[in-house]
Amino acid sequence: MNEHLHHVWSYNDVDRRFWQEHLEDFVPHDIYDAHTHVNSPELRLEQMTDEKRRQYWVNEVLEPISADDADRCHRIVYPGRKFSCLAMGMPDLSYDIKGGNEDLRLGCERYGWDALAVISPHWSRQEVLAAIDHPRVIGVKPYYAMIGQDPTSRDKYLEADIFDFLPHHQLEVLNARGSWVTLHVPKSARLGHASNISQIRRIREQYPDITLVIAHLGRSYTLPHAQESLPLLAEDEGLYFDNSAVLNPQVHRYALELLGPRRICWGTDNPIFYMRGRRTWSGRTYINLTSHPFHFNTNRQSPGIEATYTLYVYEAIRAIRQACEELGLSRDDVKNIFGGNARRWIAAIRARHIA
């Protein structure tokens, strides 16, 4: 029986078998996804253009998902598991940002989730404070695309500096509140760019009460990107990472071995990872394979092979399992990655608020 998930994807017997064979005895009972996007479709002000869809693969698959639909998907994808998450809206100026933050807060109250507010670099101290001054909101999600809008490209501001979209006056507010910041690093060179390294170090030195979480292992989707960047920040025990959207088992192993299992938390970047397929790697590049006829999907495999595809989220968990088993990590280590770490960091944030 097929069950509709989100966008063009469904949950089928291939996924059920994959879960039973590879994941059922590995995934902890209590899961916490520290990087997932939830935004009601009604709050999209401008529809995605075909020009943008052709520009970047994410634009073809990132359709907004409401809190109610996200909850339904969680219950399907994680059978028999207790689930919670740290949700954030779409950091995209084609959405109603303040309306999305409010809608997300209501959804998080309904389901007991935590939230990050999407913020604009143009906001004042007061606007940032207003965005985070709610019980379920523990921090913010900045993003370089929030600098300005371009109808043809999501990456007009890719080469911006971190402080261009997360300015100091906002960092001062976030530091005073002891907030969580999920940082998607800019630059085509990814985390390893010299300005990213220097500015992350400066944030850690100047704003030490911020819980800074580097998204996607610094966009280290290939092993070379991980090897040239993660060692530069490995000594800072108070700097954390989420592993969202990373499918490469070698990257997971390298990051876990270098950083340890208490500095990395599970994330999906959903609804993107409901996509069905696999990823291949060659040096510093990767190719997404999927069974849907998107513009980007030019590396099709045979119908027989595509029929064996499962969800990207399942492939990511299997990759983490491979890394954990190769490193001989304990059951407690696995529990920390899939929820314990994020919950511990959030508990510390809330304890500072009470104090």
| Residue from 6, 14, 23 nearest 314 by CA | 23
pLDDT of residue 72: 98
Domain boundaries, the chain: 3-354
Determine whether 26 is exposed, middle or buried from the number of CB atoms within 10 Å of its CB (0-12, 13-18, 19+): middle
pLDDT at 261: 98
The answer to whether the predicted template modeling score (pTM) of the entire model surpasses 0.95 is: yes
End-to-end CA distance of the chain: 51
Give the Cα separation of 104 and 229 in Å (integer). 33
**Rounded CA separation 125/73 (Å):** 36
pLDDT at residue 49, as a whole number: 84
Model confidence pLDDT, tens digit, residues 126-177: 999 999 999 999 999 999 999 998 877 778 999 999 999 999 999 999 999 9
The label of the residue with tokens 């985390």 reads 191
Mean pLDDT of the chain: 96
Q: Which helix (H) or strand (E) holds 239?
A: none
DSSP state of 46: S
How much of the chain exceeds pLDDT 90, in percent? 92
Level-2 CATH architecture, domain 3-354:
Alpha-Beta Barrel (3.20)
Of all residues in the chain, the percent with pLDDT exceeding 70 is 99
Contact yes or no for 169/344 (Cβ under 8 A): no
* pLDDT tens sequence across 287-320: 999 999 999 999 999 999 999 999 999 999 999 9
Is the pLDDT assigned to residue 355 strictly greater than 60?
Answer: no
Q: Residue 354 above 70 pLDDT?
A: no
pLDDT for position 152 = 77
The pLDDT value recorded for residue 56 is: 86
The residue with greater pLDDT, 319 or 354, is 319
| pLDDT category of residue 191 using cuts at 50, 70 and 90 | very high
- pLDDT tens, 214-272? 999 999 999 999 999 999 999 999 999 999 999 999 999 999 999 999 999 999 999 99
pLDDT mean over 89-108 = 97
Residue whose entry in the numeric block shows the structure tokens 């280590």: 333
140, 119 Cβ separation under 8 angstroms: yes
CA pair distance 120, 146, nearest whole angstrom = 6
Phi, psi dihedrals of residue 84, rounded to the nearest 5°: -150, 175
- C-alpha triplet 265, 71, 104: angle, nearest 5°: 80
**pLDDT(352) > 90:** no
Q: Is 118 within 8 Å of 143 (Cβ atoms)?
A: yes
C-alpha 158/C-alpha 122 separation (Å) is 17
- Amino acid 81: pLDDT: 98
